[in-house]
Amino acid sequence: MQNDIQEVLISEEELQAKIKELGAQLSGEYADRNPLVICVLKGAFIFMADLVKRITVPIELDFMAVSSYGAATKSSGVVKIIKDLDTTVEGRDVLIVEDIIDSGLTLSHLIELLKNRNAKSVKVVTLFDKPSGRSVNMEADYTGFVLPDAFVVGYGLDYAEHYRNLPYIGVLKPEIYTKE
Ligand SMILES: O=P(O)(O)OC[C@H]1O[C@H](OP(=O)(O)OP(=O)(O)O)[C@H](O)[C@@H]1O
Ligand code: HPA
């Protein structure tokens, strides 16, 4: 698995230091608001677990599974909801936890959905942002790292469902996916 990685971009230690900072910022923003913190599965599962341990104020959690990449390195453009929330968002302060914003399609779809369901506020924290990939206008409220134009894996992010369990973020060797 490690042999398929061209370069480690962000180490485990750098990830944890940034997540601690984000947790402190969010604890300030959401004190006394009991936000509904929504994990966008599958990619954000590790970030969600590490982030909520760094939030020191009361929160509630929920999970949504969304997919648009399949076994590809470009978004299909069709955002499929595979698992919906268990909780109603009406009147709630909602914080979406994403692993990466690339084209922006997943988040623009989700934000519209949650606003249509009458959430009181919808904000986004993303660990990674790849601005070079954007096809729609989309900015997170809180961002961990800005990434270069490369397909990355690890720390929850996959290529064809593999590499999610790498503890760091790495650039995948292009020969792994050029047969697409
Ligand atoms: O900004 P975008 O171009 O929409 O890309 C970002 C989304 O793509 C990935 O999810 P994917 O659809 O691969 O599903 P997964 O989380 O199950 O891997 C990632 O986890 C984000 O949710
Ligand atoms: O660079 C990426 N890697 C893995 N999953 C992704 N989903 C959007 N961009 C990426």
Identify whether 159 is part of a domain: no
Mutate which of 98, 106, 112 for ligand 1? The one with the most ligand atoms within 8 Å of its CB, which is 106
The pLDDT of residue 15 is above 90: yes
Find the domain containing 105 and state its range.
7-151
Please tell me whether the interface predicted TM-score (ipTM) of this complex is above 0.90.
Answer: yes
Q: Is residue 2 part of a domain?
A: no
**3-class secondary-structure state, position 35:** coil
What tokens does 99 get? Answer: 């692993």
| Global pTM value | 0.96
**Which residue blocks in the chain are alpha helix, DSSP H?**
12-29, 45-52, 105-116, 174-177
- What CATH number corresponds to the domain at position 81? 3.40.50.2020
* Whether residue 179 has pLDDT greater than 90: no
For residue 39, report the distance from its CA to the centre of ligand 2, in Å: 16
In a domain, 120, yes or no: yes
Tokens 């914003």 -> residue:
101
Q: Is residue 147 part of a domain?
A: yes
Which pLDDT tens digit goes with each residue over 98-135? 999 999 999 999 999 999 999 999 999 999 999 999 99
The answer to the question of residue 47 being in a domain is yes
Residue 176 maps to a domain: no
| Cα separation, 91 vs 114, whole angstroms | 11
Instruction: Please count the structural domains in the chain.
Output: 1
Q: Is the residue at 175 inside a domain?
A: no
For ligand 1, atom 14, which residue shows the shortest CA distance? 67
